[in-house]
């Protein structure tokens, strides 16, 4: 409830010679402000209640809360899309197809807003599941920000359906260290059903998740493999995976000498887990029994041993790395090998380790800078200066280091000749998108406010960005 005690204080100020009309005007203004704040607070709270009702598919509760939000409230676009989603039946029915005209209307009505962007992403998922790729392509082209991973996965699926080679893109997605968004799950399952993703690809995905500690997600992916057997014995054993993750030493101790290929795959998982705490034990096991594993699994286990021992600066880490093939290393495993070589100041090996990183990782400013340093230390001054010149930029850390290495001074960007005017800031403040940011922040939903703010910056001029920064 809004605290009105401060208003009472204003009204009850003793007369000290100030005109009574001034005190009365102050009290009226305070009461008007309080009423506005109370109305705004009530509407904002109703938005949060409506969102929760939408998430729980409670139509009546949603409409009750939405009725408390004025039509001109900045959060109205969210309510429009949530209402549509609540009324949306199965995406394959004739009714659903008819209602998509309403969705097109809403997308045009609220074009270039974050709520519309989110709605279009959901729509892309519906279209992909339906297999309506012509409409999918039209809608995907209208995304303002195409860096959403779920939408990218669906676009990759569409390209695969069209007969294009998407193996490189799929491999990059499968190396994602966190839980997949739904769009990537749809892509993975459909490509697996089409035979374009095999058992080994899915096991690599499980390895990635285990390496990054996402064991519950790894278990779910493995469960998908098990359930795909439809009751038949395909060698998968969810309980065995659980033991390999939770009790790796026990799993390895109980591993039969003539274990199946699937059990040996899970031995790799157990060894990865054990590498975190008992690297010497894993190294000994690999020396004695490593030949029992598939060559890819062997290399991956050695990379795990190298990675987790490198984090602790273990003296054997580099030797363990060298026992496996570089192509089985994850991005992080490869980066830690570079760090180890930097710690040793072995500049030729630094260059070799950077060269083994995936191209997109080599392009990272961090490794571009250290490649330049390594070039300089190995006598290739021309190449080093060329790399540093390309990297020099006052707006990021390694760019600043490059400027200093070139013997230059870091210069701040010039101050605008014409300062941002109050009217420009006011124009930003009155924008509905920024009003929505304030609502999210008032509701203590900072993540939503942050996303809305960042999206709204898309396409702004430098002057508008300066105004937004001073808002």
Q: Which helix (H) or strand (E) holds 60?
A: helix 59-66
Give the pLDDT confidence of 162-220 residue by residue, as tens digits: 999 999 999 999 999 999 999 999 999 999 999 999 999 999 999 999 999 999 999 99
DSSP string over 101-144:
HHHHHHHHHTTTSHHHHHHHHHHHHHHHHHT-HHHHHHHHHT-S
Region 405-431 average pLDDT? 89
Tokens of 300: 């991956």
What predicted TM-score, i.e. pTM, was given to this entire model?
0.83
Rounded Cα gap, residues 131 and 285, in angstroms: 48
> Cβ contacts of residue 465 below 8 Å, gap of 6+?
457
pLDDT in tens, 55-97: 999 999 999 999 999 999 999 999 999 999 898 756 556 666 6
Alpha carbons within 13 A on the beta-carbon side of 395: 2
- The structure tokens listed for 55 are 């998430």
Distance from C-alpha of 347 to C-alpha of 160, rounded to nearest angstrom: 42
């Amino acid at each position: 409830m809004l605290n009105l005690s401060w208003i009472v204080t204003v009204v009850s100020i003793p007369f000290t010679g100030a005109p009574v009309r001034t005190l009365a005007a102050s009290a009226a203004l305070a009461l008007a402000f309080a009423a506005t704040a109370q109305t705004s607070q009530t509407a904002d709270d109703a938005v949060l209640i409506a969102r929760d009702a939408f998430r729980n598919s409670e139509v009546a509760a949603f409409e009750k809360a939405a009725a408390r939000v004025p039509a001109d409230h900045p959060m109205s676009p969210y309510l429009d899309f949530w209402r549509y989603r609540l009324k949306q039946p199965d995406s394959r029915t004739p009714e659903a197809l008819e209602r998509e005209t309403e969705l097109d209307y809403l997308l045009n009505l609220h074009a270039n807003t974050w709520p519309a962007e989110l709605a279009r992403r959901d729509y892309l998922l519906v279209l992909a599941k339906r297999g309506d790729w012509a409409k999918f392509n039209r809608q995907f082209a209208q995304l303002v920000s195409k860096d959403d991973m779920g939408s990218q996965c669906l676009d990759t699926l569409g390209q695969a359906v069209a007969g294009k080679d998407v193996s490189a893109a799929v491999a990059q997605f499968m190396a994602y260290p966190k839980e997949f968004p739904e769009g990537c799950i749809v892509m993975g399952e459909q490509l697996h059903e089409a035979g374009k993703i095999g058992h080994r690809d899915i096991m690599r995905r499980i390895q990635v998740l285990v390496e990054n500690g996402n064991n519950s997600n790894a278990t779910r992916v493995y469960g998908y493999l098990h359930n795909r057997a439809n009751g038949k014995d395909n060698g998968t054993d969810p309980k065995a995976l659980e033991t390999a993750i939770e009790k790796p030493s026990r799993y390895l101790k109980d591993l039969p000498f003539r274990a199946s290929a699937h059990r040996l795959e899970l031995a790799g998982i157990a060894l990865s887990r054990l590498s975190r705490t008992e690297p010497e034990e894993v190294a000994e096991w690999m020396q004695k029994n490593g030949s029992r594993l598939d060559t890819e699994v062997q290399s991956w286990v050695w990379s795990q041993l190298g990675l987790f021992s490198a984090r602790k600066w273990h003296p054997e880490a580099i030797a363990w790395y060298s026992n496996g093939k570089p192509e089985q290393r994850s991005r992080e495993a490869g980066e830690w090998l570079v760090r180890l070589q930097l710690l040793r100041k072995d500049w030729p090996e630094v260059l070799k380790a950077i060269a083994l990183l995936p191209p997109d990782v080599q392009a990272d400013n961090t490794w571009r800078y250290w490649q330049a340093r390594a070039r300089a230390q190995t006598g290739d001054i021309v190449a080093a200066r060329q790399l540093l010149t390309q990297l020099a930029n006052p707006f990021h850390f390694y760019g600043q280091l490059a400027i200093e290495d070139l013997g230059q001074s870091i210069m701040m960007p010039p101050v605008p000749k014409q300062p941002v005017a109050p009217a420009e800031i006011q124009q930003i403040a009155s924008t509905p998108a920024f009003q929505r940011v304030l609502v999210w922040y008032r509701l203590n939903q900072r993540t939503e406010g942050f996303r809305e703010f960042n999206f709204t910056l898309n396409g702004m001029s430098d002057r508008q960005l300066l105004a937004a920064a001073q808002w």
